[in-house]
Amino acid sequence: MCGIIGYTGNKDAGPMLLESLKKMEYRGYDSAGFGILHGGALRVMKDAGRIAEIARKVGISDEKGNTGIAHTRWATHGGVSQNNAHPHVSCDASIAVVHNGIIENYQELSSQLKAEGHRFASETDTEVIAHLLEKHYREGNHLKAFQETAKQLKGTFAFLALFDDKPGLILGARKDAPLIIGVGKGGNFIASDIVSFIEQTDRVVFLKDYEIASITANKIEVFTFDGEPVEFAPTHVAWEASDISKKEFAHYTLKEINEQARTLSAALDQDEEKINEFCITIKNAKNTIITASGTSFHAGMLMRYLLAKFAKIHAQSILASEIDQEIDLVEKDTLVIAISQSGETADVIGAVRKAASRGASVISIVNTAGSSLTRESKITLYINCGPEIGVAATKSFTSQLAIIYDIVFRLAGLEEKRAQLRDLSKHVEIILSQDTSIREIAKRYKITSDFYFIGRGLHFPIALEGALKMKELSYIHAEGLAAGELKHGTLALVDAGTPVIAINPGDETYDETLNNIAEMKARGATIIAVTDKQNQLYNDVIEIPAVDSVFFPILEVIPLQMLAYYAAVERTLDPDYPRHLAKSVTVK
Ligand code: G6P
């Protein structure tokens, strides 16, 4: 959701924070702001708009001062405006706060604080934190003020604060939202996301819930909300600084789409013991639920199909945000498999916690090391695709699929298919080389108002994913459908020229899907087929290599990502930062 970052060290905080904030822009990008401490003065600069523009306006690159905090916002409480942008300050502007999450009891707290004379300047939930810190602060005891404040807050939060009487100090607290310390040389960082400081340091401390961090240029301390000191040891993260550069690509999304030949293989590099334990846990489970949100849910759907088809294991796939409807059926011997790129999606964390509280075991497939979901899980398999910056998930999806396929083949004893899976990368290169022709198709259909994506069997989750990509990136309305369901309603919408993306490679679903395509074509639809098998019904064809049919889904999603990406580019939109969306949705 929102991104927060603090830096204290021997360099000027302004330019350091600006660079960090740009790396976190994918977490939210409707407003941004900075709070800088310099010579006992606390300066707050903030506005609505994109980071680069605000930074230029306030002149952050020339700002002096070695300690600061910054924020990039994805609005939840309060509209997008300068007043609602972070940092928020106490009445006397001596304390500045940036926050990620939602303070659920903010109305009650702000009424109390107002009655006590505090003056509020915004409509946000965050502002109560600044006033609470002010209320609880007694000279020299910053930590105590933090403890008292954190204990009064309900909801999810990671927040950072500066006090103008304590140059060099940043305090941060976490509950149910990520907060990570970056241990640097000559300075330290604290942020909601490792990518924000990975160019400076890969030594990190993952804070846990109900912990407070106190950071200066050369000292890091961690405490509980009760003020008890906590021992900690920094760990190294495997991400490289170069992973977060766009390289020669116009956008992160395009770079990440193009990384998939490599990331597919990386996903398969798993610790044997761990992945075996993961498989045994699935095998022994009496009742299995796969849960996730967004793109990861589509991977979960495909996992359900593959488990049934090849390993003869029944699992349900349930959207994390909908788990309440079936939570009563979760019991001690239920296994929950949670899938999440970020490991921070609030709906997913909420779902696994509810299931765990009923005795279920949780195992997970995650990209981000140390994320909240990994802590809720008995076993976590990492997909190892490196940081994914583009808001719309691309490489993380195919990496999730690679691990899922490997798990299913292990469970089904299909060693030969496991070897074929390792070989898939070379086919990805062939698809990526069709860049120009896919862009041509995107150009031709860029003014359409609707797209329909159809697929049957294993291709149905991919139809859903293709439609989701198209909506997220190009803002064109798109619907993903099981091909067989068309005639039960959606066919009524098909008209002369309606573009239909038919995912129809030559497997056992081919003929039936072709019938559905014919039904649409008879009503005037224009058919864009993703296939290895030509047919005269098709107006346009995006070719995929003829592989063993089980692997088609991993390959066919890639041209759909490219199509959505180019549709956005052709419509002069920014594919990396789609409007209203955020990469890591840490609120419910
Ligand atoms: C957000 C992102 C989506 C993503 C979903 C789930 O909505 O914009 O791209 O699929 O969250 O994220 P997760 O990190 O749990 O996979």
What value does the mean pLDDT take over residues 56-79?
Answer: 91
- Ligand 1 mean position, distance from CA 292 (Å): 9
- Rounded-to-integer distance, Cα 554 and Cα 530, Å: 12
- From CA 195, how far away is CA 457, in angstroms rounded? 37
Average pLDDT, the chain: 94
Tell me the pairing of strands 170-175 and 155-163.
antiparallel
Domains 249-422 and 432-575 share a fold: yes
Q: CB of 296 closer than 6 A to ligand 1?
A: yes
How many other C-beta atoms can be found within 10 angstroms of the C-beta atom of residue 492? Answer: 10
> Mind listing the pLDDT tens digit for each residue in 428-441?
999 999 999 999 99
Per-domain residue ranges for the chain?
3-243, 249-422, 432-575
249-422: in CATH 3.40.50.10490: yes
Ligand 1 centre and the CA of 537: distance in Å?
Answer: 35
Residue 55 has a pLDDT of: 92
pLDDT at position 137, please? 95
| Token duo for residue 116 | 């006590």
Atom number in ligand 1 closest to CA 373: 15
Stretch 447-475: mean pLDDT: 97
The pLDDT of 483-498, averaged and rounded, is 89
Told to judge if 385 belongs to the known catalytic residues of this protein, a careful annotator would answer no
Report the pLDDT value the prediction gives residue 123, as an integer from 0 to 100: 93
Distance in Å, CA 284 to ligand 1 centroid:
29
Exactly one of 2, 395, 471, 521 is catalytic; name it: 2
pLDDT beyond 80 at 586: no
Tokens 């497939």 map to which residue? 365
**In which residue are the tokens 């006033």 written?**
131
Predicted TM-score (pTM) of the model is 0.84
Token digits of residue 57: 């306006």
Are residues 258 and 432 in contact, defined by beta-carbon separation less than 8 angstroms?
yes
Q: What pLDDT was estimated at residue 241?
A: 63
Structure tokens at 233: 């040891």
| 377 SS3 class | coil
The CATH homologous superfamily for domain 3-243 is Aminohydrolase, N-terminal nucleophile (Ntn) domain (3.60.20.10)
- Integer angstrom CA distances of residue 129 from 68, 212, 222, 386, 401: 17, 14, 20, 34, 42
564 vs 101, more confident:
564
**Confidence class for position 502, pLDDT limits 50, 70, 90:** very high
Residue 1: pLDDT band by 50, 70, 90 thresholds? low
Q: Assign 140 a pLDDT band (cuts: 50, 70, 90).
A: confident
What residues contact 9, with CB distance under 8 A and at least 6 apart? 16, 66, 184, 186, 187, 188, 217
Q: Is 279 considered catalytic here?
A: no
Task: Kindly report the backbone phi and psi dihedral angles of residue 277, in degrees, each rounded to the nearest multiple of 5, phi listed first.
Answer: -65, -40
- Read off the pLDDT band of 313 (50, 70, 90): very high
Query: pLDDT tens-digit profile of 351-375?
Result: 999 999 999 999 999 999 888 899 8
CATH superfamily, domain 432-575, is Glucose-6-phosphate isomerase like protein; domain 1 (3.40.50.10490)
**Rounded distance, CA 403 to CA 381, Å?**
8
Q: What's the 349 CA to ligand 1 centre distance in angstroms?
A: 13
Q: Is the C-beta atom of 338 inside 6 A of ligand 1?
A: no
pLDDT(392) > 90: yes
Residue among 321, 347, 585 whose CB has most ligand 1 atoms within 8 A, to mutate: 585
Q: Is the CB of 319 under 6 A from ligand 1?
A: no
Give yes or no for residue 341 having a pLDDT over 90: yes
